Amino acid sequence: MEANIESKFKAAVSVDNVVFGFDNNDLKVLLIYRGAEPYKDCWALPGDLISLDQDLEQSAENVLQNLTGLDNIYMDQIHTFGRVDRHPFGRVFTVAYFALIKIQDYMVKPSSWAEEAAWFPINEVPELPFDHMEILEYAKDLLKNKIRHQPIGFELLPKYFTLTEIQSLYEAILETQFDTRNFRKKLLSMNLIVDTGRQQKEVAHRPAKLYKYITKRYAQLQQIGFSFDL
Amino acid sequence: MEANIESKFKAAVSVDNVVFGFDNNDLKVLLIYRGAEPYKDCWALPGDLISLDQDLEQSAENVLQNLTGLDNIYMDQIHTFGRVDRHPFGRVFTVAYFALIKIQDYMVKPSSWAEEAAWFPINEVPELPFDHMEILEYAKDLLKNKIRHQPIGFELLPKYFTLTEIQSLYEAILETQFDTRNFRKKLLSMNLIVDTGRQQKEVAHRPAKLYKYITKRYAQLQQIGFSFDL
DNA sequence: AACACAAAGTGTGTAAATTACACTTATTCA
DNA sequence: TGAATAAGTGTAATTTACACACTTTGTGTT
């Protein structure tokens, strides 16, 4: 009854993460500067081979943990890429994930496979090795779709944020413009965010109210058939 | 510069297909009766190990081709499952796909790994081996979401179909009821289907008009910002 | 030929949601 | 104290969604 899988089926599997952040009205992606072959000295998506004793999800989280020191990050599996020739050293499948992080919380941390890590505005990404550009495009499309139907935009903002900030986040990702009054009306009518009573400080104009996102509220509303849409 | 990947990273990768069909007002899924270990003599999702010289997408299509003899099938990658212990013979990742087929076109074909294949109504699926039940649940959820935002329901219907048929397809998948008049109004207003002039024959009631789906139309409409929603 | 049966097919009024649109307010800085 | 900057706010018009019931067209039976 015990048996083994023939070695003619044995390939490597990696995870690659598309890590999004939002800052200064720009959607950004986190890239690492590769310190090892192949494609040494290139900017690339952070990723790693999966060792045999690690669950898939766990591996994806570890990559992120090593890189940012952050935990409890919103992550989602995107797609798996498996062209025969996608890796020069042999057959390597890669499972792509995307992660949304509050860029303000991000701390640089040394890692084994990266000499450096940096944020790139989504429209200023350099050439990427392997099929990483295809993965990134896939991730962007998914983010665009997902952000309209699930309240995940808040994952990219600080704990306290202004209505203008969330609007420009949506505008940056969806590459459109929204009418301010209508956008606010709709967003507030969902009861997912509340005015904290706090205000912006030291801005050279009328200070904006600071809101926060109520995680629990969404779960409750979903149960009564509510569906998020922006 | 040439190098190899260490064998401590080598695992097997398989594809598993969730094949949906629609018949007699029921959503159905195609299962095979396993002829080989592990889980010999169980009903399971059709799938196979990927050999090293085959692209991922290609493998998924081949599984379906072997099983049904059908080509040009709507397929979509669902998710990749990679729990360490999901396969008793070793580390096996599996990439799950779903396929939508016109059940009327389906022809039984012998295959190497299946003694038999059969359609099961979605609510009468037997116990499944591995994490196949989890995969099936995943596929059902995806189908539910996808069918509301993309015109993929037509892939499950014969070339010529009635409005009642497509309505009951939607009702079966989404597990809701639609108002006939409103459903038709909305569907027809999208201009994605047209009256062929043909009619049902030999039915013991007023014969329904037969419509067909215009594939090209959707591509055109998408470009001008149209979005499908039902 | 007439009638029963079965599912197909069709329109309108009402409520809700979406859109378009421009001025006033609060704060900093010179 | 005035200029600059972004925040904040309401209403009317249009569009879309929803609720709702009877007539039509065929088959099969007597």
* CA of residue A205 to C1' of nucleotide D7, angstroms: 8
Q: Hey, are the CB atoms on A55 and B4 less than 8 Å from each other? A: no
Q: B221 beta carbon < 7 A from strand C? A: no
ipTM of this predicted complex?
0.93
Q: Hey, are the CB atoms on B95 and A80 less than 8 Å from each other? A: yes
Within 8 A by CB and 6+ apart from A103, the residues are: A21, A22, A23, A28, A119, A156
Nearest to B191 by CA among B220, B223, B155: B220
Q: A166 beta carbon < 7 A from strand D? A: no
Q: A207 beta carbon < 7 A from strand D? A: yes
DSSP assignment of B3-25 equals ----GGGEEEEEEEEEEEEEETT
Phi, psi of B6 (to 5 degrees): -60, 145
Q: B206 beta carbon < 7 A from strand D? A: yes
The nucleotide minimizing the C1' distance to residue B203's CA is D27
Q: B80 beta carbon < 7 A from strand C? A: no
- Chain B residues whose C-beta is within 8 A of a chain A C-beta are 1-5, 7-13, 37-38, 49-57, 77, 79-84, 89-93, 95
User: What gap in Å lies between CA B228 and CA B214, rounded to an integer?
Assistant: 14
Task: Name every chain B residue with its beta carbon within 8 A of the beta carbon of A37.
Answer: 1, 3
The nucleotide minimizing the C1' distance to residue B211's CA is C8
pLDDT (tens digit, 9 = 90+) per residue, A184-206? 999 999 999 999 999 999 899 99
The nucleotide minimizing the C1' distance to residue B185's CA is C10
Q: Hey, are the CB atoms on A56 and B1 less than 8 Å from each other? A: no
- pLDDT per residue as tens, chain B (230 positions): 456 899 999 999 999 999 999 998 999 999 999 988 899 999 999 999 999 999 999 999 999 998 888 889 999 999 999 999 999 999 999 999 999 999 988 866 555 566 689 999 999 999 999 999 999 999 999 999 999 999 999 999 999 999 999 999 999 999 999 999 999 999 999 999 999 999 999 899 999 999 999 999 999 999 888 999 99
pTM for this predicted structure: 0.94
* CA of residue B204 to C1' of nucleotide D28, angstroms: 8
Q: Is B81 exposed, middle or buried (0-12, 13-18, 19+ CB in 10 A)?
A: buried
* CA of residue B204 to C1' of nucleotide D25, angstroms: 10
